[in-house]
Amino acid sequence: MDRDRDLTQLFSDFKPEIQNSDDFMAQLQHKLNAVEFIKQKQKEQARIHRYCLLAVFLLGSISGATLLGIAVIYPQTSPLFSLDVPSVPFLWFFQKNIHSISYLCIEFLITTGIIAIVSQWQDVLSYSQSKKKEP
Tell me the pLDDT tens digit for each residue of 52-80: 778 878 887 888 788 778 777 776 666 66
Contact 91, 85 (CB under 8 A): yes
Burial of 94 (0-12, 13-18, 19+ CB in 10 A): middle
Nearest to 61 by CA among 15, 3, 111: 111
Domain boundaries, the chain: 47-54+69-120
Neighbours of 22 (CB within 10 A): 8
pLDDT given at position 36: 92
Per residue in 75-118, pLDDT (tens digit) is 666 666 666 666 677 777 777 777 778 888 888 888 888 888 87
Beta-carbon contacts of residue 12 (< 8 Å; ≥ 6 apart): none
**What's this model's pTM, rounded to 2 decimal places?**
0.49
Burial of 112 (0-12, 13-18, 19+ CB in 10 A): exposed
